[in-house]
Amino acid sequence: EAEVAQSPRYKITEKSQAVAFWCDPISGHATLYWYRQILGQGPELLVQFQDESVVDDSQLPKDRFSAERLKGVDSTLKIQPAELGDSAMYLCASSHGPSGRALSTDTQYFGPGTRLTVL
Amino acid sequence: AQSVTQLGSHVSVSEGALVLLRCNYSSSVPPYLFWYVQYPNQGLQLLLKYTSAATLVKGINGFEAEFKKSETSFHLTKPSAHMSDAAEYFCAVSEGDTGFQKLVFGTGTRLLVSP
């Protein structure tokens, strides 16, 4: 069964350093999501891509976070500089709506996540 | 904006007992509702979803949920708990068809299953 791949699984960094996370969605999934999950809370959407275009980044702290999906396949989420409050699980998900368009009924498939600890 | 409330951050049951995890939603339009499960240090996996077809939705691993508009609820149930059901469960609502999907998750309920 196809899965969403993420790396690294764990990352420890010091504050003010730069970190990057990678996600490879299920083949053929046009929609890709990055979520942040703080311990004890539900995931919160950071950014959503449709192919290579950003369709929602309203909750992305753009002063320090950036995301790209240059060829509309895999994606990278970067934090620079990292802050203590960025410690969380970063989840990537993908979905495939009919004709490549995301629908509200789509199933999102999640990767295993990257657990970030900022010291 | 749409939202979901999950009552009880922790629910404890004995193996073989009924599982009931509560979820209430707030929405100004007909909602689409989802239940996801998360095992320790893993991503989320879809259990089931309501997409305005049948109000009683059956999912994987013996779970089911019933959409009740009058109560704005979408509670998750399983007749008999198994040790392997111990995990974190998240209810989520999808905002309307705006050309993309945005899931809004609840804060989660941790299910503890004792022998």
Strand extents, DSSP E, chain B: 3-5, 10-14, 19-21, 24-26, 32-38, 44-50, 56-58, 64-68, 73-78, 87-94, 103-105, 109-114
Q: What are the φ/ψ torsions at residue B62 (nearest 5 degrees)?
A: 80, 5
Given a cut of 70, whether residue A92 has pLDDT beyond it is: yes
pLDDT tens digits, one per residue of A38-59: 998 999 999 999 889 998 899 9
- A111-115, B26-30, B95-99: lowest mean pLDDT where? B95-99
pLDDT tens digits, one per residue of B47-69: 999 987 788 999 999 999 999 99
pLDDT of B94: 86
Contact status of A40 with chain B (Cβ, < 8 Å): yes
Q: pLDDT grade, residue A105 (50/70/90)?
A: confident
Given a cut of 90, whether residue B11 has pLDDT beyond it is: yes
Find, in chain B, the residue whose alpha carbon is nearest to that of A49. Answer: B100
> Cβ–Cβ of B107/A106 closer than 8 Å?
no
Contacts of A102 in chain B (CB under 8 A): 99-101
Answer yes or no: are the C-beta atoms of A7 and A50 closer than 8 Å.
no
